[in-house]
Structure 1
């Protein structure tokens, strides 16, 4: 089933809202100076990022040797566990990955095969959500949305 962007955005927001409050996951350890490469792997290069308000950043990375994208949400100031998420979706294939829970430093990694495909991705920290759709699609302009719940 292929979803149109407004439907996908609504589904993502609903999933983030439910998943962020109901997921029971072990907290990631506080890791000052965490980088996307420390979380995803050294072969993953950052290709895009989006701020999560002033709380942190969601990073989209890519490994050219295996064609995988990895996304991770990293807090600016690690500490007490808070609700966090990271997610990625490949509209062309329907492949998706996510990580929701209460974490002290970062959410993720979440991996999908993305070679030659546009990707939608995002995450949240506390009550600030960011989603990027139509990302890394050559001439297609991506759409970024940040909101507070």
Structure 2
């Protein structure tokens, strides 16, 4: 049994080494060049996210110190500027913020005060959009919609 564990350990280590080498060899353009915290601020923690097809992700973040939410849309592969958007809305207070334009990497940040409130948020890249309603509130179940135009 000891020999089998040694062989298995060696095989696992070899697989990890090959995987690490492959991961390190991946081109830099295969990953986004930013994070939600770089866009919104280091005090903002990611509390939710939604993929925008295969193009990227829209992130909902929250800062417990000031009670604000921030949303940003980040492309999987930065490149030539394309239509991008991000929005956040608090129905209880009617507070809304958005950002849209042609961007190479990300849209946003968009901020609202959201402490103890449900929020609706989303974003888009090119012609693919995602919208999340009634998010991050205990009493309601969120509703996600992804669509293309």
| TM, length-normalised to structure 2 | 0.78
CA distance in 1, matches of 2:33, 2:140: 33
Q: Quote the Cα distance in structure 2 between the aligned partners of 1:38 and 1:44.
A: 9
Structure having greater relative contact order (Cα 8 Å, sep ≥ 6): 1
Gaps of 5+ in 2: 1-30
Q: Any idea what SS the aligned residue of 1:89 has?
A: strand
Higher helix proportion: 2
For the pair shown, the structure with the greater C-alpha radius of gyration is 2
C-alpha separation between the residues in 1 aligned to 2:126 and 2:85?
A: 9
Over the aligned positions, Cα root-mean-square deviation in angstroms equals 1.0
Aligned to 2:62: 62
Trace 1:41-56 onto structure 2 (pairs within 5 A): 41-56=41-56
1:122 aligns with 2:122: yes
1:33 counterpart residue number: 33
- Identify the residue that residue 108 of structure 2 maps to in structure 1: 108
| Partner SS, residue 96 of structure 1 | strand
Q: 1:59-93: per-residue Cα shift (whole Å, max 9, x none)?
A: 00000000000000000000000000000000000
Contact 2:32 2:75 in 1 (8 A): no
1:51-90 maps to which residues of 2 (within 5 A)? Answer: 51-90=51-90
| Structure 1 residue 146, shift from structure 2 partner | 0.1
- The answer for unaligned runs of 5 or more in structure 1 is 1-30
CA displacement at 1:55 relative to structure 2: 0.1
In structure 1, the residue corresponding to 2:39 is in which secondary structure? helix
Deviation at 1:32, TM superposition (A): 4.2
